[in-house]
């Protein structure tokens, strides 16, 4: 019997009504890279490019149900987590994944604050995130403020990023992709840290307001690569390249932090040829 095609990504995250981040960005990124996206929605947000205007949580039992039915029927090659707003949500997701997806790699994006500054994780849930989600993740993808909160290490420069990444590894995290977008200067540095060593990826900073959903998009693109059987480093390299291309292809919508052009990989000429 032929091996089933890979590339199935189950995304456990919140919804963004503006379409730029959250579940919407996750689905777009996975689809654009040739994967198949499935979802367990953990929260609903009323959100646009200017910020988050309201949040409604999803009952933990219903989150568990979404995860169970998807995994029992379709299965998954990788799990991606995003907004898990409180301890009950984190517990529900981790319990369900432990029961129905043992051994499936998890890409954990520890979403704490929206681009516009609205908190998306209850302060008391940080300890639960450390205790339950971080130990089971194949890789976590914090930005600088998230890495500071999780590691307890202040980050003022790339050297601080190295110290924070090392602290997270000492906490038992398997791998860290520490994103440098919140840093300063014209060069942006991301760090991929594993017990085998740390590699820095540098790129020139883009002068653009279209940065909404970059973290969600990067984590989902990385999860898609792992789901398709790519090695960790190769998946990181492709995910970073995709995010940059999507930023350059931003459609220009909204008056705040605009969305990315997730469809940058789609060839309109090829679609037209099918008509």
- Would you please indicate which residues are annotated as catalytic (active-site) residues? 179, 211, 213-216
Torsions phi, psi for 199 (to 5 deg): -125, 135
Alpha-carbon span 65 to 68, nearest angstrom:
5
The three-state secondary structure class of 21 is coil
- Nearest-10 crossing angle of helices 60-73, 87-100: 20
Torsions phi, psi for 145 (to 5 deg): -60, -35
- Helix residue ranges per DSSP H, the chain: 22-32, 60-73, 87-100, 126-128, 144-151, 158-170, 214-227, 232-248, 268-272
CB atoms within 10 A of CB 38: 22
- Largest Cα–Cα distance of the chain, in whole Å? 56
Q: What is the DSSP string of 195-242?
A: TTEEEEEEEEPP--S--BTHHHHHHHHHHHHHHTT--HHHHHHHHHHH
Contacts for 167-173 with beta carbons within 8 Å, 24 or more apart?
168/134, 168/140, 168/142, 168/193, 169/193, 169/194, 169/195, 171/130, 171/134, 172/134, 172/135, 173/134, 173/135, 173/137, 173/140
């Amino acid at each position: 019997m032929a091996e089933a095609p890979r590339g199935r990504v189950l995304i456990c995250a919140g919804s963004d009504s503006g379409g730029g981040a959250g579940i919407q960005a996750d689905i777009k990124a996975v689809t654009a890279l040739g994967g198949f996206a499935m979802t367990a929605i953990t929260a609903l947000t009323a959100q646009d490019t200017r910020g988050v205007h309201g949040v409604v949580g999803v009952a933990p039992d219903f989150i568990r149900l979404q995860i169970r039915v998807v995994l029992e029927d379709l299965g998954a090659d990788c799990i991606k987590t995003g907004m898990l707003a409180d301890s009950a949500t984190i517990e529900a997701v981790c319990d369900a994944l432990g029961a129905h997806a043992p051994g499936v790699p998890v890409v954990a994006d520890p979403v704490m604050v929206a681009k516009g500054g609205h908190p998306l994780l209850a302060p008391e849930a940080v300890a639960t995130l450390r205790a339950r989600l971080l130990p089971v993740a194949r890789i976590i993808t914090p930005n600088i403020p998230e890495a500071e909160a999780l590691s307890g290490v202040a980050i003022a420069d790339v050297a601080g990023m190295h110290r924070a990444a090392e602290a997270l590894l000492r906490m038992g995290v398997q791998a860290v992709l520490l994103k440098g977008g919140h840093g300063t200067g014209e060069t942006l540095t991301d760090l991929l840290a594993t017990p085998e060593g740390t590699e820095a990826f540098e790129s020139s900073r883009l002068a653009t307001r279209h940065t909404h959903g970059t973290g969600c998009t990067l984590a989902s693109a990385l999860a898609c690569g792992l789901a398709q059987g790519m090695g960790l480093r190769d998946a990181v390299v492709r995910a970073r390249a995709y995010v940059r291309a999507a930023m350059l292809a931003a459609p220009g919508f909204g008056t705040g932090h605009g969305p990315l052009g997730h469809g940058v990989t789609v060839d309109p000429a090829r679609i037209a040829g099918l008509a």
